[in-house]
Chain A
Amino acid sequence: MLELRGIIDAIWSFIVGLLAGLGIPQWAIELVGYALIAVVMFGVVAVIVLFLVWWERKVSAKMQDRLGPMRVGWHGIIQTIADAIKLLQKEDITPKAIDFPIHFWAPVVTFVAAFMVYVTVPFGKGLIVSDLSVGVLYIIAITTFTVIGLLMAGWGSNNKYSLLGGFRSAAQVVSYEVPLSLALLGVIMISQTLSLGTIVTQQDNLLKWYVWRQPLGFLIFWIAATAECNRTPFDLPEADSELVAGFVTEYSGMKFAMFFLAEFVNMFTASVVAVTLFFGGWMSPFGPDFGPSWMWFLGKTMFFVFVLMWFRWTYPRLRVDQLMGFAWKVLLPLAFLNILLTGLGIYLFDGLK
């Protein structure tokens, strides 16, 4: 029933037949397979981001009683493609004072770190590139690499605004990283696995969603994830009004586009992790095999992306001291409390061996 895995398998067996006919060894075929999947995944991520940019503009417009993009295509749906082509043609202005290698590699590191998360994201039944046994830990580790990219951009630009933006953003992401990883710990204690595929299959109906057992954990995770994505109300690093876009001040053209792309990919990633760990991932709420799994996954994820956009037009920006204080004085003690409560809950209700 409309499952994509069958189609992919059919295409793959055709390619394997073709390559084996050419006398290419098995391990090389496997590598080629992964490379093809990586390219396809890049395409999927790019399409999702193009859609999200358009959707964010539409949602913003609706909330402000405007129309938003209307000219290019139906309700401006290919506006972002036009924007991407425009950015591709823009002159790349790199000031003389920059530290070239750092300045050049910063957007690469930022984007690749955001992209590599999709190795282990379960998009649907069987639609997972590699179900890593350390999936949750891997996602936490890889998303933190974004900080290095932002710091590189801030330092390499040799611009005071960029430096301040880079430092602010690093301090913020680093502060919210701690409650974020501790909040996910509650789910791991219940599920007893780090593999995302297994965590999804454990939540095969509405009542088994981990959000019911981890409401506090989900709340902490969601607030911290919003901060990790540098989204309003935590968008201080990019505060347009005071830092002239922070760490991206000295970037133009395609390099700027990479930062922009990475930001939206991270937004999608945050929603993906929320859906996978707390809301059953690609499992339908009404028991297994109810409708195509990838549509459930996309639907749930898009809802959480919408919530992020909703936040943007609902909450005012925080002050720096409030921002840092909130992470360390409120979220971190709450995350510890959540771990203790989860441990106690498992002990009381499920019993230990």
Chain B
Amino acid sequence: MSEFAAVAVFLLVGTGIVLFTFLLAKIIRPSAPNPVKLETYECGETPYGTAELQYNVRFYIYALLFVIFDVEAIFLFPWALVYRSLGLFAFVEMVIFITILVFGLFYAWRKGVLKWF
């Protein structure tokens, strides 16, 4: 059987155990809801509006940067794995690749993307 069968089994068993503890807690615990208890917590005030509102665009920009650099990191993994057998050519190529990316990072830096207000 493939070595990844264990991953699938761990996923199922882990989820199962967590749901089982939730069920166990549901049987044991008391339940006494009242309207005030079911309000959203906002430091004792009556909650104002919903929380699904506009948020700082910085979060989005960081997510975008992450996608760029993480895809690149994934791209580097196969290269690193066979680095010794690829020889000097691959090393020089990767230096060029990383240099371009570092230029990209510095461009973003100079543009003020990395500044947090």
Contact = CB atoms under 8 A, between A and B. Distances in A.
B41 A352 contact: no
A212 interface: no
A42 interface: yes
A339 interface: yes
A108 interface: yes
B6 A181 contact: no
Interface size bucket, B side? 35 or more
Given A34-B5, A111-B18, A188-B77, A91 B38 contact: no
Contacts of A194: 77, 81
A93 B88 contact: no
Nearest to B61: A171
A133 B3 CA distance: 9
A235 interface: no
Interface string A171-193: 10011011001100100110011
Contacts of A193: 81
A111 B15 CA distance: 9
Interface string B70-110: 10011011001111111110010011001001100100010
A205 interface: no
Interface in A181-216: 181-182, 185, 188-189, 192-194
A95 B39 contact: yes
Interface residues of chain A: helix, strand, loop or mixed (majority): helix
Nearest to B30: A91
B94 A343 contact: yes
Contact of B51 (A37, A92, A158, A328): A158
Contact of B19 (A95, A108, A350): A108
A97 B38 CA distance: 8
Contact of B114 (A115, A255, A325): A325
A266 interface: no
B2 to A, nearest CB: 9
A264 interface: no
A137 B50 contact: no
B13 A42 contact: yes
Contacts of B91: 343, 347, 352
Contacts of B59: 167, 170-171
A59 interface: no
B13 A108 contact: no
A72 interface: no
24 contacts: A35-B9, A39-B13, A42-B14, A92-B29, A111-B14, A112-B14, A119-B7, A129-B10, A132-B7, A159-B51, A160-B42, A161-B41, A161-B42, A167-B56, A167-B59, A170-B63, A181-B73, A249-B41, A321-B116, A324-B114, A329-B109, A329-B114, A343-B91, A352-B88
Interface of B: 1, 3-7, 9-15, 17-19, 21-22, 24-26, 28-33, 37-43, 47, 50-52, 55-56, 58-59, 62-63, 65-66, 69-70, 73-74, 76-77, 80-88, 91, 94-95, 98, 101-102, 105, 109, 114-117
Given A34-B5, A167-B59, A189-B80, 17 more contacts: A35-B9, A90-B29, A92-B25, A116-B10, A129-B10, A131-B3, A138-B7, A158-B52, A159-B42, A161-B42, A163-B52, A177-B70, A182-B76, A193-B81, A254-B25, A332-B69, A352-B85
